[in-house]
């Protein structure tokens, strides 16, 4: 008989690298301006990795942040899932490298790639494992360092991304209440060309050569914008319907921080209360999988989110993927 153990979100944390790049600095690299970037995206500055910092470094810091807050012994963690599109190495996985560096020697560890929907995809996996009784303490680490792979001469892409990591600890609920009220995932591989980072490599010298592609993010910005506005409102409404909830019954809307214009349009279309929308793209840009957990943790720590509460999380990005979740956030999680 499958078990159905309710899941508790027991902690959230984040980390961003110290180095900040402003819009004015970007305008020394490409033909753009602070005014263009602010008005088209909402972004004012972003944090980027420097020197040897990478997605593992960011993830370890975010993981340690949540572990020290929750006072969990790393040896008690059963599973680490890292949601990342920018692994430091193709292998070993980011999750295995984080496992070693935080001393979670008893954990199973693997990565999941769902780009900016990474948190929601990883949460759904954690929920399945915890609900079935297979694992108890599950650490999710969402970490991306896209600044390493943008073409710094492509003005429509280089201003968008920033680097960072978020972490979330989940475990069986102590009071029978399930903090994951609803979760819904979508993948549309047919639209995969809208955002891609091709790792072409180089064929064996004994065979016909392949076409080597530059290691840069390709993004069709307009198509991405249209994708979000065409499909996401319907998906968000379906998630609300499945939970038998209305938008105005949700305390906070925490969307993926991709573009302020997208957030405003979604908020308006769904009917979320504008005062209850969490935004921090101004400071961080689009940090991909890390964006929702960074926005959530920072808003809790700054008192913009009052706990306990309900929150609607939405992620969308390369794949193309979407993920929506309605969650309960308990007192003391950050």
Chain positions contacting ligand COA, by CB under 6 A: 32, 36-37, 40-41, 116, 155-156, 159-160, 219, 221-222, 224-225, 258-259, 262, 286, 317
**What's the Rg (C-alpha) of the chain?**
19
| Catalytic member of 54, 146, 280, 286 | 286
Nearest approach, Cβ of residue 260 and ligand COA (Å)? 9
Closer to ligand COA by Cβ: residue 70 or 263: 263
Pick 225 or 231: Cβ nearer ligand COA: 225
For 291, phi then psi, to 5°, come to -65, -45
Look up 216 and say whether it is catalytic.
no
Q: How far apart are CA 334 and CA 128, in angstroms?
A: 24
Choice between 40 and 269, CB closer to ligand COA:
40
167 vs 219 by CB, closer to ligand COA: 219
Which distant-in-sequence residues (6+ apart) come within 8 Å of 148 by Cβ?
49, 54, 86
Q: Which is nearer to ligand COA, 258 or 300 (CB)?
A: 258
Q: How far is the CB of 37 from ligand COA (least distance, A)?
A: 6
Active site residue 286: yes
Nearer to ligand COA, 222 or 274 (CB): 222
Closest CA to 121 of 191, 183, 163, 56: 183
Minimal distance in Å, beta carbon 50 to ligand COA? 22
Residue whose tokens read 């992620």: 315
- Do 17 and 164 touch, CB atoms closer than 8 A? yes
43 or 170, CB closer to ligand COA? 43
Length, in residues, of the chain: 334
Least CB distance to ligand COA at residue 277 (A): 16
Active-site annotation holder among 96, 116, 158, 159: 116
- In eight-state DSSP terms, residue 318 is T
Residue with the CB atom nearest ligand COA in the bound state:
221
Q: Residue 87 CB, nearest distance to ligand COA (Å)?
A: 18
| 102 Cβ contact partners less than 8 Å away, ≥ 6 residues apart | 60, 63, 64, 67, 74
Q: How far is the CB of 273 from ligand COA (least distance, A)?
A: 23
Catalytic one among 23, 65, 69, 256?
Answer: 256
Distance separating alpha carbons of residues 234 and 280, to the nearest angstrom: 25
The answer for 130, left when phi > 0, alpha when psi is -120 to 50, beta otherwise, is alpha
The DSSP 8-state label assigned to residue 277 in this structure reads B
* Complete edge-to-edge strand list for the sheet that includes strand 138-144: 7-15, 164-172, 138-144, 79-83, 108-112
Q: How far is CA 277 from CA 123, 292, 304, in A?
A: 21, 12, 10
Count Cβ atoms below 10 Å from residue 44 Cβ, excluding itself: 17
Name the minimum Å distance from CB 268 to ligand COA.
17
Active site residues: 116, 256, 286
């Amino acid at each position: 008989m499958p078990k159905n153990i309710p899941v508790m979100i027991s902690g959230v944390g984040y980390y961003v690298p110290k180095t900040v790049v402003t819009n004015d600095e970007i305008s020394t690299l490409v033909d753009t301006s602070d005014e263009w970037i602010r008005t088209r995206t909402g972004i004012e500055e972003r944090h980027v990795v420097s020197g040897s910092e990478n997605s593992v470094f960011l993830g370890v810091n975010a993981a340690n942040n949540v572990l020290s807050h929750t006072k969990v012994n790393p040896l008690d963690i059963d599973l680490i899932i890292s949601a990342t599109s920018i692994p430091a190495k193709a292998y070993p996985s980011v999750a295995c490298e984080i496992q070693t560096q935080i001393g979670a020697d008893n954990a199973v560890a693997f990565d999941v790639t769902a780009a900016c929907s990474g948190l929601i995809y990883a949460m759904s996996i954690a929920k399945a494992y915890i609900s079935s009784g297979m694992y108890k303490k599950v650490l999710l680490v969402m970490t991306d360092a896209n600044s390493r792979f943008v073409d710094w001469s492509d003005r429509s892409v280089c201003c968008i991304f920033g680097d960072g990591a978020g972490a979330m600890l989940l475990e069986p609920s102590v009071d029978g209440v399930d903090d994951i009220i609803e979760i819904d995932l979508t993948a549309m591989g047919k639209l995969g060309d809208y955002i891609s980072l091709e790792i072409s490599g180089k064929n064996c010298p004994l065979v016909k050569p392949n076409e080597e592609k530059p290691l840069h993010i390709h993004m069709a910005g307009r198509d991405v914008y249209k994708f979000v506005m065409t499909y996401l409102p319907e998906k968000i409404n379906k998630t609300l319907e499945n939970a038998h909830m209305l938008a105005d019954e949700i305390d906070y809307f925490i969307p993926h921080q991709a573009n302020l214009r997208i957030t405003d349009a979604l908020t308006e279309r769904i009917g979320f209360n504008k005062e209850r929308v969490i935004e921090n793209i101004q400071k961080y840009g689009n940090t991909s999988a890390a964006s929702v957990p960074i926005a959530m943790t920072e808003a809790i720590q700054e008192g913009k989110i009052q706990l306990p509460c309900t929150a609607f999380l939405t992620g969308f990005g390369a794949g193309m993927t979407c993920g929506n979740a309605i969650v309960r956030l308990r007192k003391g999680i950050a």
